[in-house]
C-alpha cells in the first residue's frame, strides 16, 4: 500500500531567530490532552513562536505567519492561547469580522473545558466575548477599530485576519502590551487580495524577511510566482493540511476561472503591487514613454499643499504631440521650508499657467508670486478639482498621459484609492501612511491645466 500524500509540513519561506529552548512542547501537550492532536506543521510553528531566551523571555516579541485558507492556521492561535490562559496571561484576541472572533471564542472555550481549566467567568455575547480562568488567566475577543483596546493591558495580542490589519488599528493596539514583562504580538492571515484593506501585515512580512525588524519572526507557505491552477504539486507545496483535513477534490472545485485569486488564496502568492489601488502598478507602467523624449513648449505647473499642512508637491505637464500629455514631478518637500525653490523655478521656466490647490499655502504662494511679478496663479474651485481628477482617470484609461517612470510617482500612483468629493466626484488618498498623496495631486493639477487651457497665440501684423 502506498503512503497517502500530505502537504509540505515546513514553511516554504521563514525568518526565525535562533533559539535553544522553547515552551512549545508544554503548549502542544496541553492541547493534545483535550482529545485533539496538533499536526507536525502546527507544532513547528508553536515551537518557533514560543521560543525563549536565557532570561525566560520570548525570542520573538512579534511573530507573523501566512497559510492558505482552510488549513487550520487558527488552531495555532488556539494552542498558544490555551497555554497562556493556564499560565496566567492576559490576552486580547482581535479579528476583522465579528463572526471570525466569535468562532475563535467557541473553539477555545471548548478546549478550555476539555483541558480541565477552571472557568471563573465567561461571556459569549458576540463582540464582547471573554474567558477568565482560575489563576488569573483571561482572554478578551474583539473586532478591530481605530480605538479598540486603548487603555487595556495585555501580555499577548493576537491579530487574526491580519491581511485586514490597518495602521489605525495597529496604533490603537500595539501599546496594549507595552506594560507586560514578557509581551508578544502574533499576526496570522493570508496574502492581501484585491479587496483587502490592511497594510501592516505585508509591510511586517517584507521587513522581517529582510532582517529589518528586531525580535521578530515570520513563516509562510507560498509560491513565489503565478502558477497554473492545475499544478497539483504546487497545491501540496503550499497547503500543509492537504491530504489530512483538506482534499484534492475540494481544491479542484475552488477554481472558477480567476487565476490570480486562486494563486493568492490557495497557493499563498504575494502580489508585488497593491491590488486595492485605484491605479495598478502594471497600468501605470504601461504609460511610461518607450524612449527618451524631446519635448518643447510651454509648461503647465500643478502645486498641491497637503491636507495635513505638512508637505507640498509641485509637478509639470507639457503637450507631447499625438494628443498626449507628458507629466513629471518637480519635488515634494515640507511646507515649512517655504516657496523659494518653486519661485526660482517659475522665474526661469517658460510657464503658461500655474494651478495651486490647498488652503495650507495657496494664498501665501499667490501673494509671493505677485511680489515676484509672476503671472497670477489659478486657485481652482472644488468642482474644478473634481473635473481634474476625472480627466486624469480618463487619460490613464485611454493612455493619453505619459511619464518617465519616476519611482516616487509610481509608488504613490500604484498605492492610492478613491475618496468621495461632493455628491458625485472623487479624489485620491494614499493607501500607505508614509506616502504623500500631494505628489499625485500635483500631477493631476498640471495635467488638467495642460488639457484644459490653450496657449495664447501671439498676434501677427500683416501688411
What is residue 218's three-state secondary structure? Answer: strand
Q: Which pLDDT value is given to residue 422?
A: 83
**Alpha helices, DSSP H only, in 329-361?**
340-348
Residues 6+ apart with CB under 8 A from 47: 22, 24, 25
Cα–Cα dist 201/192, whole Å: 9
Pick the CATH number of 281-452 from 3.30.420.240, 3.30.70.2740, 3.30.360.10, 3.40.109.10: 3.30.420.240
Grid cell of 181 as nine digits = 514583562
User: 498626449: which residue's cell?
Assistant: 324
Residues 6+ apart with CB under 8 A from 427: 385, 386, 389, 418, 419, 421, 441
| Angle CA 72–73–79, to nearest 5 | 95
Residues 6+ apart with CB under 8 A from 163: 189, 190, 191, 192, 193, 196, 198, 201, 202
pLDDT digits (tens, 9 = 90+) for 406-427: 999 999 999 998 888 887 788 9
Report in angstroms the alpha-carbon separations of 327 from 148, 293, 323, 399, 407: 43, 12, 13, 13, 13
- For the chain, give the number of residues: 463
Cα–Cα dist 301/354, whole Å: 5
CB-based contact 315:445 (threshold 8 Å) = yes
Report in angstroms the alpha-carbon separations of 63 from 19, 59, 66, 117, 199: 14, 10, 11, 27, 16
- Domain span(s) for CATH 3.30.420.240 in the chain: 281-452
Query: What is the DSSP track for 267-282?
Result: T----SS-TTSSS-HH
Average pLDDT by consecutive 10-residue portion of the chain (463 residues)? 82 97 98 97 98 98 97 97 98 92 95 97 91 96 73 89 89 88 97 78 93 96 93 98 95 90 92 70 88 77 93 94 90 95 95 95 95 95 93 92 93 90 86 89 96 60 34
Q: What are phi and psi of 320, to 5 degrees?
A: -105, 5
Strand pairing report for 351-357 and 401-402: unpaired
Cα–Cα dist 202/189, whole Å: 10
Residues 6+ apart with CB under 8 A from 354: 300, 301, 303, 346, 369, 374, 375, 377, 378, 449
CA atoms within 13 A on the CB side of 367: 5
Query: 274-301 burial by CB neighbour count: b if 16+ within 10 A, else e?
Result: bbbbbbbbebbeebeeeeeeeeeeebbb
Phi-psi region of 215 (alpha: psi -120 to 50; beta: other; left: phi over 0): left
pLDDT digits (tens, 9 = 90+) for 192-217: 876 677 889 998 999 999 999 999 99
CB-based contact 219:16 (threshold 8 Å) = yes
CB-based contact 60:184 (threshold 8 Å) = yes
Q: Which pLDDT value is given to residue 441?
A: 97
Q: What are phi and psi of 258, to 5 degrees?
A: -90, 95
Strand pairing report for 130-133 and 119-123: antiparallel
Sheet strands side by side (includes 119-123) = 13-15, 216-220, 62-66, 184-189, 156-159, 90-95, 138-143, 130-133, 119-123
Burial grade of 62 (CB within 10 A; 0-12, 13-18, 19 or more) = buried
CATH number of 13-265: 3.40.50.300
What one-character DSSP code corresponds to residue 288? B
CB-based contact 446:377 (threshold 8 Å) = no
Grid cell of 459 as nine digits = 498676434
Query: Taking the complete model, does pTM exceed 0.75, yes or no?
Result: no
> For the CA atoms of the chain, what is the radius of gyration?
28
Q: Smallest Cα–Cα separation from 44: which of 22, 61, 60?
A: 22
Amino acid at each position: 500500500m502506498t503512503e497517502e500524500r500530505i502537504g509540505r509540513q515546513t514553511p516554504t519561506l521563514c525568518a526565525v531567530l535562533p533559539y535553544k529552548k522553547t515552551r512549545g512542547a508544554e503548549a502542544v501537550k496541553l492541547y493534545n490532552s483535550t482529545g485533539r492532536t496538533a499536526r507536525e506543521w502546527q507544532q513547528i510553528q508553536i515551537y518557533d513562536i514560543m521560543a525563549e531566551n536565557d532570561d525566560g523571555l520570548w525570542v520573538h516579541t512579534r511573530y507573523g505567519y501566512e497559510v492558505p485558507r482552510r488549513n487550520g492556521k487558527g488552531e495555532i492561535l488556539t494552542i498558544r492561547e490555551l497555554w497562556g490562559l493556564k499560565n496566567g496571561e492576559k490576552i486580547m484576541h482581535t479579528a476583522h469580522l465579528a463572526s471570525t472572533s466569535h468562532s475563535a471564542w467557541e473553539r477555545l472555550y471548548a478546549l478550555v473545558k476539555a483541558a480541565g481549566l477552571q472557568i471563573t467567568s465567561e461571556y459569549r455575547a458576540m463582540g464582547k466575548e471573554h474567558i477568565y480562568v482560575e489563576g488569573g488567566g483571561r482572554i478578551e475577543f474583539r473586532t478591530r477599530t481605530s480605538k479598540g483596546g486603548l487603555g487595556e493591558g495585555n501580555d499577548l495580542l493576537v491579530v487574526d485576519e491580519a491581511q485586514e490589519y490597518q495602521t489605525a488599528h495597529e496604533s490603537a493596539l500595539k501599546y496594549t502590551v507595552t506594560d507586560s514583562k514578557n509581551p508578544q504580538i502574533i499576526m496570522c492571515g493570508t496574502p492581501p487580495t484585491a479587496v483587502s484593506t490592511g497594510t501592516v501585515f505585508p509591510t511586517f512580512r517584507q521587513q522581517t524577511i529582510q532582517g529589518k525588524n528586531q525580535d521578530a519572526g515570520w513563516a509562510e507557505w507560498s509560491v513565489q510566482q503565478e502558477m497554473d491552477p492545475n499544478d497539483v504539486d504546487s497545491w501540496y507545496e503550499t497547503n500543509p493540511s492537504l491530504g489530512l483535513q483538506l482534499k484534492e477534490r475540494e481544491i479542484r472545485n475552488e477554481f472558477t476561472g480567476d487565476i490570480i485569486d486562486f494563486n493568492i488564496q490557495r497557493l499563498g502568492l504575494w502580489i508585488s503591487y497593491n491590488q486595492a489601488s485605484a491605479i495598478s502598478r502594471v497600468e501605470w507602467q504601461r504609460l511610461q514613454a518607450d524612449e527618451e523624449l524631446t519635448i518643447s513648449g510651454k509648461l503647465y505647473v500643478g502645486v498641491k499643499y497637503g491636507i495635513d499642512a505638512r508637505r507640498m508637491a509641485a509637478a509639470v505637464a507639457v503637450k507631447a504631440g499625438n494628443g498626449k500629455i507628458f507629466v513629471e514631478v518637480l519635488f515634494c518637500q515640507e511646507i515649512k521650508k517655504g516657496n523659494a525653490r518653486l519661485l526660482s523655478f517659475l522665474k526661469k521656466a517658460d510657464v503658461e499657467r500655474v494651478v495651486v490647490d490647498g488652503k495650507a499655502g495657496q494664498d501665501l504662494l499667490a501673494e509671493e508670486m505677485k511680489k515676484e511679478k509672476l503671472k497670477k496663479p489659478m486657485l481652482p474651485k472644488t468642482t474644478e478639482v473634481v473635473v481634474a481628477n476625472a480627466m486624469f482617470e480618463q487619460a490613464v484609461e485611454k493612455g493619453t498621459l505619459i511619464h518617465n517612470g519616476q519611482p516616487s510617482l509610481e509608488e504613490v500612483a500604484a498605492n492610492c484609492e478613491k475618496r468621495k468629493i461632493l455628491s458625485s466626484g472623487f479624489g485620491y488618498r494614499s493607501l500607505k501612511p508614509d506616502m504623500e498623496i500631494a505628489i499625485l495631486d500635483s500631477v493631476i493639477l498640471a495635467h488638467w491645466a495642460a488639457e484644459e487651457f490653450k496657449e495664447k497665440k501671439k498676434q501677427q501684423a500683416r501688411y
